[in-house]
Amino acid sequence: MTELIADLDRLGVRPGETLLVQAALRSVGPVVDGAQGVVRALRGALGADGTLVVYTATPENSRTSSYYRAAVAGMTPAQLRRYHARMPAWDAAETPASPTMGRLAEEVRLLPGARRSGHPQTSFTAIGPRAEEITARHPWSSHLGEDSPAHRLYEAGARCLMIGVPVWCCTPLHLLEYWQPDREEQQYRCVVRTPDGRRSWRSFTGTRLHDEHFPEMGEVLAEGLADEIRTGPVGDARCHLMPIREAVDLADKWYRNRSS
């Protein structure tokens, strides 16, 4: 763990800051205690005054996610009914982060004192002095918009540490889609656990989110923020440390020019 803390310090992680971490932990290489050891190193680098944030999304309970569409492709009506009956109902306290988010996200969610936002599809979890502030409000209509933890990270001057993943994986970059004058709306549908323990299907309207432009956008960020993005190793992983506000602002400007 000491070696990982030293790597994080050299990369530029600062004690007391608010840090969103998105990770492919296999790229780090062997670590004592695995994902838990990486979490301890991150908290050690941030110190008692720092706040660690992860994305604990759950596309498995949604009938409108790309995960769902891929899973049900080619199913018969009978197979589809059985699949719907087995879909996990969202419960903020009990539902694990999706395995697609990486093991680090789930390990942070399980920490005593961690706070999770209440969105059944795009929750964030945080631990540290600013955890409640970041996660307290997350209306369903604002998956990754201005009333979500993504925007609070933007407002707080937080940075995103991408461990073994490219810069375009930074989830708050979706904020730019909420700022477009012609943004699309769609109906979302998911299954949730009610207070009395029943399953309930809920529908709501929100901005349609896209990610097909993200890889191209990553090239723009790498060039335009060359002086702001810190790149270096954490263990065996190639990592990027990027300011969220500057990244979203540049991505928004690029997206508007690209779309005009």
Per-residue model confidence as pLDDT tens for the chain (260 residues): 789 999 999 999 999 999 999 999 999 999 999 999 999 999 999 999 999 999 999 999 999 888 999 999 999 999 999 999 999 999 999 999 999 999 999 999 999 999 999 999 999 999 999 999 999 999 999 999 999 999 999 999 999 999 999 999 999 999 999 999 889 999 999 999 999 999 999 999 999 998 899 999 999 999 999 999 999 999 999 999 999 999 999 999 999 887 55
Question: Which one-letter amino acid corresponds to residue 34?
Answer: G
Query: Which pLDDT belongs to residue 238?
Result: 97
Query: Which pLDDT belongs to residue 257?
Result: 86
Work out the end-to-end distance of the chain between its first and last CA atoms, rounded to an integer number of angstroms.
48
Mean pLDDT, the chain, whole residue set: 95
Q: What is the C-alpha separation between 84 and 81, in angstroms, rounded?
A: 5
Q: What is the C-alpha separation between 84 and 72, in angstroms, rounded?
A: 10
Q: What is the C-alpha separation between 153 and 234, in angstroms, rounded?
A: 23
Q: For the segment 223-244, what is each residue's pLDDT rounded down to a tens digit?
A: 999 999 999 999 999 999 999 9
Q: What is the C-alpha separation between 57 and 123, in angstroms, rounded?
A: 5
